[in-house]
Amino acid sequence: MDRRSDIDIDALTRALDVHSLRILVAIDQTGSISAAARSLGYSQPTITQHVQRLEARLGAALVVRTARAARLTPTGALLAQHAPRIDASLTAAATELARMLGRRADLVRIAASADAVGTVVAPALGRLAAQQPEIDASFVEASDNAAALALVQDGRADIAVTLTLAVSGERHAIARRSGMRSTFLFAEEIVALSTAEIQAAGGRIDPALLADEIWIRGDGSPGDLLAERLERPRAGDDIHVSNAAAAVALARHRVGTTFVAESALAGIDLPDGVRVWGLTPAVTRRATATALVEAATIPAVESALRVLASLRPSPADVEVILDARRRSASHRARFSSSRTTYPARTAPPEESPMPFPSTARLAQAGAVVAAGALLLTACSGDPAPSASTALADSGEQIDSITVALPGSLSNLYVGQESGILNYYIASIAQEGLVAIDADGAIQPALAESWSQPDDVTYVYELRDDAMFQDGTPVTADDVVFSLNEARDETTSPGLAYYMTNVESVEKTGDSEVTITLTEPDAAFAKNMSTGGAAFITSKAFWDANDGNVGTASSLLMGTGPYKVTEFAPDSHVTFERTDTWWGEEPKVKSITVNFIPDESTRLLAAQSGDIDVAFNV
């Protein structure tokens, strides 16, 4: 760019002011000078003067005026498009300045549709009023999710709370807008409320069994989603309502069948004969808070986002749903232990002489070899397993396999005890964002897709059917947490080596994670596999164990096809096949890995039949 261009851009930048930009946005939204003046609380001559002065400074027309209306020119529309983000950036700077000068900056506006008020917005406003009375929090009602997001994008609200429906096992569309950052708040199940005399096994019912009933539903409601999936047309006696409270009231009085989120039944006493079922497949309603990237650091907005993220709706008294939560809580309760300190390994992990296999290859491997597919099979240049393991793949299910490996482990968490053996063992239970196939190519893992907008930015889209081995869904928050822990040289000295070039790891959508590097790095893409630094775990599991994971009492939590069920340091580790993995089910049900450093001992164990697979003998 030449010097003249630098001067022109500088002059244009100095010509802009935030008040004039706000006026352009108002004109674009209202379609007239007078309406824009009313919406901003200015007089009509003031609006006109601001526009004329800006047009004079820029040397370009911004507004086309007629007797009864006004519209923006292409130049004006361009400025209006960028105005909300400029406004948010200046507001963030002003709040920082206000804090430095000892002044207050305490305004936050939350936009949402009526359905989100009772579950999300009202509790958040009440909690903000009680905990941080200095914040002036207000509510802006929107007609739907798109309108709430538009209010934020246009600068008329700071946070949009949206509610979206998702069917288990199906990919759901996520609304994404440039320059906006989303935070997942919570998910709750959709339940059926009906007087229908139907026997539903296990407390869950297929909505198709209720198709002949009178449905109580509204536009965009769970009932609408289910009707679309079932290709059920709107019946003449169906009842249309505008909110869940009305639907529940009608269903309580035996008028028809409705489908509502769990929280809609909080504090509701149901009469005899009115039944509540969970659905199969399960349908959830996900709450998300979205703000402009620049506005997320404004103290009042940041506080409101924290309060929103702390909300949890009241669960429905549906036994099948409560039982699933009890099992999940019971599973997590197993992972409680006292803190133990292990030696830190600050050197980078040694290079493996073998191509690093992916979890998917384990699931596809056959018979005995499946036990070692993640460990040492397909080893170029290494001795093959002993002859006792050269069995044909019969295609049948295998109850258990015992493997002998050289070396030993005192901790299963790669971040604490790195090395070839630990990487292979951990990769049986944990996954990265991507996987590396036998040819060294990058393949999908927890991220079903990814992109690289520029040399230092990687954007990963998570698959929505991924679950941890305790049955809880994998979220972008879990991925961000896992990678940030991997960056920490104190908690993860064995992984931090791979992350020294990472500037930030951010959740940029419900199922989107963006990683920014300090400089281009051709090796980084593969480092997001379990051959590098990406061993994704559950934040809840980590917190429950105070970060002391990988021990005999805490074990590991991952998303792979096998979960760790027992670990005796320097002795053995046992894996059991899990039904929570998103991929193809492995043929081997149980794998026991014995650590036997001595080669002759491993060979004798293989020859005697005490083990099924012996490596490096």
Nearest to 552 by CA among 326, 342, 329: 342
More confident of the two residues 242 and 563 = 563
- The tokens describing 593, both together, are 């890995």
Q: Is the pLDDT of residue 384 over 60?
A: no
Chain segment 232-263, per-residue pLDDT in tens: 888 888 999 888 888 889 989 999 999 998 88
Q: How many helices (H) and strands (E) does the chain have?
A: 19, 23
The token pair at 224 is 């609408």
Q: What is the pLDDT of residue 228?
A: 87
Residues 6+ apart with CB under 8 A from 366: 393, 394, 395, 587
* Burial (CB count <10 Å: 0-12, 13-18, 19+), residue 86: middle
> What is the pLDDT, as a whole number, of residue 319?
61
Looking at residue 86, its pLDDT comes to 75
State the Cα–Cα distance between residues 306 and 120, nearest whole angstrom.
Answer: 13
Summary mean pLDDT of the chain:
78
Is the residue at 94 inside a domain? yes
Would you place residue 538 in the very low, low, confident or very high pLDDT band (cuts 50, 70, 90)? very high
77 with 147, same domain: the answer is no
Q: Are strands 257-261 and 215-217 parallel, antiparallel or unpaired?
A: parallel
Q: What mean pLDDT is predicted for residues 37-55?
A: 77
What percentage of the chain carries pLDDT values higher than 90? 23
Of 160-169, 521-530, 551-560, which one has max mean pLDDT? 551-560
Please check whether residue 549 lies inside any domain of the structure.
Answer: yes
**Alpha helical stretches, state H, 488-563:** 524-527, 539-544
Tens of pLDDT, residue by residue over 459-508, are: 999 998 899 999 999 999 999 999 999 888 777 877 877 788 898 999 99
The tally of domains found in the chain comes to 3
Query: Among 607, 554, 562, which Cα is nearest to 429's?
Result: 562
Within a domain: residue 339? no
Same domain, 262 and 146: yes
Which DSSP category does 560 fall into? S
CATH code of residue 26: 1.10.10.10
The whole-number pLDDT of residue 255 equals 92
Please name the helix (run of DSSP H) or strand (run of DSSP E) that holds residue 512, with its range, or none.
Answer: strand 512-517
Q: Which long-range contacts (CB under 8 A, 24 or more apart) does 417-421 make?
A: 417/342, 417/345, 417/494, 417/550, 418/345, 418/348, 418/349, 418/493, 418/494, 418/495, 419/345, 419/349, 419/350, 419/494, 420/349, 420/350, 420/352, 421/595
Domain boundary among the residues 99, 116, 134 is at 99
Minimum mean pLDDT range among 92-106, 361-375, 429-443? 361-375
Comparing 442 with 104, the larger pLDDT belongs to 442
Q: pLDDT exceeding 70 applies to what percent of the chain?
A: 79
What are the angstrom distances between the C-alpha of 387 and each of 157, 376, 404, 599?
69, 15, 14, 15
Q: pLDDT (tens digit, 9 = 90+) per residue, 163-220?
A: 888 776 554 544 555 567 777 677 788 889 898 888 777 678 899 999 999 999 888 7
Q: Which of 225-229, 300-304, 468-472, 516-520 is predicted most confidently?
A: 468-472
Q: Residue 188 and residue 193: Cα distance in Å, rounded?
A: 15
Q: Which of 1-10, 18-27, 490-499, 515-524 has the lowest mean pLDDT?
A: 1-10
| 88 and 162 co-located in one domain | no
Average pLDDT of span 68-92: 81
Which tops the pLDDT comparison, 18 or 499? 499
Coil, strand or helix at 592: strand
For residue 533, what is the domain's CATH number? 3.40.190.10
Same domain, 224 and 304: yes
Q: Are residues 263 and 303 in the same domain?
A: yes
Look at 166-180, 359-373, 574-588 and tell me which has the smallest mean pLDDT: 359-373
90 and 132 in a common domain = no
| 39 exposure class (CB count in 10 Å sphere: 0-12, 13-18, 19+) | middle
Lowest mean pLDDT among 12-16, 365-369, 574-578: 365-369
Distance CA 29, CA 432 (A): 45
Is a pLDDT exceeding 50 seen at residue 391? no
Contact (CB, 8 A) for 556 and 496: no
Neighbours of 16 (CB within 10 A): 15
Extract the tokens encoding 507. Answer: 């959740």
Task: Work out the number of other CB atoms within 10 angstroms of the CB of residue 336.
Answer: 12
523 and 451 in a single domain? The answer is yes
Please give the residue that has the higher pLDDT: either 26 or 319.
26
**Confidence band (pLDDT; 50, 70, 90) for 381?**
very low
Tell whether the model's pLDDT for residue 119 goes beyond 80.
yes
Q: What is the mean pLDDT of residues 572-577?
A: 94
- Host domain of residue 546: 359-614
Query: Does the pLDDT of residue 103 top 70, yes or no?
Result: no
Residues 179 and 310 in one domain: yes
Q: Are 301 and 105 in contact (CB under 8 A)?
A: no
The answer to whether 573 and 594 are in contact (CB under 8 A) is no
Q: Domain of 118: which CATH number?
A: 3.40.190.290
Residue 39's pLDDT is 72
CA distances from 598 to 354, 396, 420, 574 (A): 21, 32, 17, 20
The closest of 90, 158, 165 to 124, measured between CA atoms, is 158
Closest-CA residue to 158 (of 203, 213, 223, 91): 91
Do 438 and 549 fall into the same domain?
Answer: yes
Over residues 48-69, mean pLDDT: 83
- CA dist., res. 81 & res. 490, Å (int): 44
**Contact, 531 vs 423, CB < 8 A?**
yes
Write the DSSP symbol of residue 609: T
